[in-house]
Structure 1
């Protein structure tokens, strides 16, 4: 197999053929005129035929040079295109998160993508509160519950803080919510199929509501929050997740009492000798966002 000519010499040939002037080619290549001349002479020696005719007023391509030039130019164009295409492609970070954390997480990921389009995130939502990196191909996950085990790197985001939430119109309507006992006159919305969240909060408030079992039950916290925002009842929500809803006026918290359940949200990823720079940057950023919300939490 015949040895291919050096790539730098071919590139010098393309640039020189475009301007047919050693001096101008040297300027474009940021090398000396003598270096351009030597590379062209070496390429001609390698190929076995001349590429340029040296003339008093410059250069002109030989028949072989004219035939070779567009093909080599096209080859360099293909190389440039391939390098740019591959360089522009970024592997998305695969993140899994339960639907209950979407009200907090999704706005922040949208902001992240605006600020860091070079680090895309592919989000998968689930009703599950856990992850198994041995069988699930995710780079990281948000999980809810107790402190994760020792098989993952876990960063605490914030604790679960239960508190009733409702729409502004319900808060100031004909049946105002001034005391926990006023909940008896409203439909209670449950984010799970059981009543444990409402029961925990009412116990802490030292209040009994006889109609607790007559409320509406939903499969996800997010769905219960959405129904509450429409003025159709009072949901038991997580204060840590509804900051944007409170600021926008979609939801209101009628009572000051917030109950810590002992559960929390954690950002986890598999133990590795060195996680990717992109993952580390995303983790650090989400931790900063969570810390800002946690700093507002009641003692």
Structure 2
């Protein structure tokens, strides 16, 4: 395998070919005329043929030099493109989040990108509620679980508060939903098969049983989507469905919100954070408080 010529010598060839003058090339490269001449001579010796014809008033590319020039130009163009693309990718903030928080997080990230298009963000959803920064290349993560201890790399978003939600049409439909005693007439939509959320809320409200008609879903999104169509009454985290409530797709038939002891919070690796990440996490925390 032939040994490739040094990159610095190829750059010198490219600049010299543009000027066809050692002095002008040296000025652009910030080296002496003699240094340019030596680098070109070394490159020619490496290749085994001349690249320039030395003339009294300057230089002229040989046939081999003319063949080399577009190839070297293309090579440097590809290098410059690669540097730009890698810089852009490295500038994108990578966030991991559980699927249950995506209905809250995604609209806020869209809002963030409109405000700060210079700090792009990519989010990866996961059914897992944890993150391992030693083996996962994320800049930050949204986690769900017991309220964490406060620390420099942890920011609380909001506590989980469960409440039933339904389509506004159910409140005064054929089977009005006005009080707790009306609930057995409606199908309960469960965001999980263990029925834990409904059981907790009903127990707090003073009812000890999960009513007869029920349907289970794999995610909160699916249960909420069915509730918005008037299929039944779902239960979910008040903060996660705040947009649906504000825009009238859903309503709260009861005022009771039950805290579960779990929270959503932001965390980041134990290392210095770039300024853009600090700004994003503070902004998300502010939006959560709102």
TM-score normalised according to structure 2 size: 0.73
Structure 1 residues 11 and 197 mapped into 2: Cα distance closer, same or farther (>3 Å)?
A: closer
Alpha-carbon deviation of 1:237? 1.3
1:77 aligns with 2:78: no
Unaligned 5+ residue runs, structure 2? none
Structure 1 residues 54 and 170 mapped into 2: Cα distance closer, same or farther (>3 Å)?
A: farther
Query: Aligned-pair RMSD on alpha carbons?
Result: 4.1
Query: Which whole-Å CA distance do the structure 1 matches of 2:84 and 2:189 have between them?
Result: 50
Structure 1 residues 84 and 254 mapped into 2: Cα distance closer, same or farther (>3 Å)?
A: same
Question: 2:189 — aligned with what?
Answer: 189
Question: 1:229 — aligned with what?
Answer: 228
**3-state DSSP class of the match of 1:265?**
strand
Q: Quick check: 1:10–1:43 contact (8 Å CA) kept in 2?
A: no
Structure 1 residues 195 and 152 mapped into 2: Cα distance closer, same or farther (>3 Å)?
A: farther
Q: Quick check: 2:22–2:36 contact (8 Å CA) kept in 1?
A: no
Question: 1:88 — aligned with what?
Answer: 85
**3-state DSSP class of the match of 2:82?**
helix
Structure 1 residues 201 and 180 mapped into 2: Cα distance closer, same or farther (>3 Å)?
A: same
Deviations 1:92-132 (A, max 9, x none): 76644332212112333455567558755351321x4x326
Q: Quick check: 2:23–2:33 contact (8 Å CA) kept in 1?
A: no
Alpha-carbon deviation of 1:163? 1.3
Query: Which whole-Å CA distance do the structure 1 matches of 2:121 and 2:61 have between them?
Result: 50
Unaligned 5+ residue runs, structure 1? none
Q: Quick check: 1:44–1:51 contact (8 Å CA) kept in 2?
A: no
Question: 2:56 — aligned with what?
Answer: 54
Question: 1:264 — aligned with what?
Answer: 263
Alpha-carbon deviation of 1:22? 7.6
**3-state DSSP class of the match of 1:241?**
coil
Query: Which whole-Å CA distance do the structure 2 matches of 1:204 and 1:230 have between them?
Result: 27
Structure 1 residues 184 and 23 mapped into 2: Cα distance closer, same or farther (>3 Å)?
A: same
Question: 1:157 — aligned with what?
Answer: 157
Structure 1 residues 43 and 189 mapped into 2: Cα distance closer, same or farther (>3 Å)?
A: closer
Structure 1 residues 262 and 26 mapped into 2: Cα distance closer, same or farther (>3 Å)?
A: same
Q: Quick check: 1:144–1:263 contact (8 Å CA) kept in 2?
A: yes
Question: 2:287 — aligned with what?
Answer: 292
Q: Quick check: 1:155–1:266 contact (8 Å CA) kept in 2?
A: yes
Structure 1 residues 3 and 257 mapped into 2: Cα distance closer, same or farther (>3 Å)?
A: closer
Alpha-carbon deviation of 1:181? 3.1
**3-state DSSP class of the match of 2:56?**
strand
Count of residues in correspondence between the two structures? 278
Deviates more, 1:247-256 or 1:219-228: 247-256
Question: 1:177 — aligned with what?
Answer: 177
Alpha-carbon deviation of 1:255? 2.9
Structure 1 residues 70 and 245 mapped into 2: Cα distance closer, same or farther (>3 Å)?
A: farther
TM-score normalised according to structure 1 size: 0.71
**3-state DSSP class of the match of 1:250?**
coil
Structure 1 residues 283 and 61 mapped into 2: Cα distance closer, same or farther (>3 Å)?
A: same
